[in-house]
Amino acid sequence: MNKSYLYRPMLYFVLTFLITFVLWFAGAYVSFQEGNEGLYMLFMLPGLMAPFIISVAMIFTSKNTDIKKDFVNRLIHFNLVQPKMIPVFILLMPLSVLVSICLSFPMGGSVLQFQYAEGFSFSAGSVPVLLVLLLAATFEELGWRGYAFDSLQSRYTYFTAAIVFSILWSFWHFPLLFVKDSYQYEILHQNIWFAVNFFVSIIPMGVIISWVCIKNGKSVLAAILFHFIINISQEMLAISQTTKCIETVVLMVVAFCIVMMDKKLFFSKKHFNRHKKLLSNNKNYVAQSKRHVTQQG
């Protein structure tokens, strides 16, 4: 976090939600138009890129050299990734999936869930699903870790920032419920509670990704890699939606354990005290300017 820069989280999230929702709801409409179904990706992909584009715009119009360099460094320097964290990248999500499958057995879950899935659980028109999973991980993390999370952690503890971010990130996916053949659309029409579980599961997942990113020097590459592994882990095996509900509980337990083991990191207030001072000084400056204008009038 650049402590000399005054972040603007409200502006960032308002712009991100507004642009994404307009594009994705337009894409949802087109996805149901007979003969034009494939064109909906022309709206979906720009909506997916919106967090990244807005992050870049806000960073490079900030007139702050340090924050620009910080963003580029976190994007290109893979040496920020800590070797001891690599097993977490590779194993955490696959193991969570395997544990969830095992826990599903007493509830009637099938052992066949250990088989590789015959195909992906959703369609993306003419765009290969694997590419969509990669693009989703890349552009989301470029945006969320490029500016969004930093803007929140400049004002709150890492714990509060992670929770607020995860809730907002979850809600950001809302328009996908209305896009024909999307994963969210498919599970909504299977059972509304499966859709609810999807949105709930994003919250502990967001906390875990935030922790992984912070522990690796806020490396954007680390966040992208871990996010992509999450996406692949969710699609690789033939797990049922009921098991995915169990997986949400498993992820909540994992997130809770991470927070408890790293309480000093999550609840420290040192990193945003400077920002609070800058914010206070800025408000005082604005108030003084208004008084000056009033007096001159």
Residue 77 falls in which region: left (phi positive, over 0), alpha (psi -120 to 50) or beta: beta
The gap from C-alpha 195 to its chain's centroid, in whole angstroms, comes to 17
Number of neighbouring beta carbons within 10 Å of residue 147: 26
**In this structure, are residues 254 and 92 in contact, taking their beta carbons and an 8 Å threshold?**
yes
Closest by alpha carbon to 145, among 78, 71, 200? 71
Name the residues annotated as catalytic: 140, 173
Gap between the Cα atoms of 52 and 48, Å rounded: 8
Gap between the Cα atoms of 209 and 212, Å rounded: 5
Query: φ, ψ for residue 116 (rounded to 5)?
Result: -65, 140
- Find residue 116's DSSP bridge partners: 237
